[in-house]
Amino acid sequence: MGEADRPVIRRAGAQDMADVAEIYLAAFPDSLTDLGLEGVRPLAVDDVMAICLDAEPEGFLIATIDGRPAGYVICPSEAARIRRAGLRRLPTIAWRWLTGRYGVGLRVALRLAREKLMFWRHADLPGADCPARILSLAVHPRGQGRGLGKALMAAALAYLGAQGATCVRLEVRPDNAPARHIYEKTGFRSVGQVHDTRGPWEVMILELGSPDG
C-alpha cells in the first residue's frame, strides 16, 4: 500500500454525516433487512449519527482514503451522553418521521424503540458499570481489505484511554465470527449476553487498566 492509499484517521464533523450514513447502509445490509428497514432513507441514518456526534464529537472518528470517508467508529467515553443528545433532538426526529421523511412505518419504529428499551431497562446488565463503548464500527465495501477496521479500533482505544477509561464495552452478534475474532485478538472477552427482538448480543469487555498504570 502506497502512502497515498494509507487511511487517515480524523475527527468527524457535521459535513461527514451523509458519508457516514452511506457507509452504514453499505456495511450492514443484512441488519437492515432483519429490522425491516430496506426502504429507510439516508436522512434517518444521518440524523441518528448526528446524535452521536452531538453527544461526544471527539469520540466520532472517520477513516478516509484519498480524502474520501471509507469507515468510521463511534466510541463515546460516556455512553449515557448518547441518550441525552437523543432527547434533545427528539422533537426534530419525531417531526421528520411523522411527515414521512425517513421512510419508516409505525410498526418498524415501535420495534426499534422496543429494542433500545430492552438494552436500557436494567442497571445490572453485563458490563453496565463500563461507560466507555465501541458503539459502532463500520467500513464501506470499497475500503475493505486495507486495514481500516484495525486502524479505527486502535484510534478509538487510544482516545478512550486518553479520556481515563479503564474498560471498554461493545456488543456483537454471537454468530458474527469474523467480528468476534477481531475483537478477541484485540483483547476483548465475553462477559455475558443481552437480548433484543432479534435474539442475543454477546457483551464483550476490554480492560485498559488504571489511568495511572
| pTM value surpassing 0.85 | yes
CA 198 to mean position of chain CA atoms: 18
In a domain, 140, yes or no: yes
Contact 70, 140 (CB under 8 A): yes
* Whole-number pLDDT of residue 196: 76
CA gap 69, 108 in Å, rounded: 29
Q: Which long-range contacts (CB under 8 A, 24 or more apart) does 97-100 make?
A: 97/44
Cell numbers linked to 173: 452478534
Instruction: Return the CATH number at 129.
Output: 3.40.630.30
CA-CA distance, 17 to 9, in Å (whole number)? Answer: 15
Helix, strand or coil, per DSSP, at residue 139: strand
Position 145 in a domain: yes
Which domain covers residue 143, as residue numbers? 3-207
**62 lies in some domain:** yes
Domain count, the chain: 1
From first to last of its 213 residues, the chain has per-residue pLDDT tens of 455 567 899 999 999 999 999 999 898 887 777 767 777 888 888 999 999 999 999 999 999 988 889 999 999 999 889 889 989 998 998 999 889 898 887 777 776 666 665 555 555 666 778 899 999 999 999 888 888 988 999 999 999 999 999 999 999 988 888 788 889 999 999 998 887 777 888 999 999 875 554
Residue 213 lies in a domain: no
Task: Provide the b/e sequence for 167-179 (b: ≥16 CB within 10 Å).
Answer: bbbbbbbeeeeeb
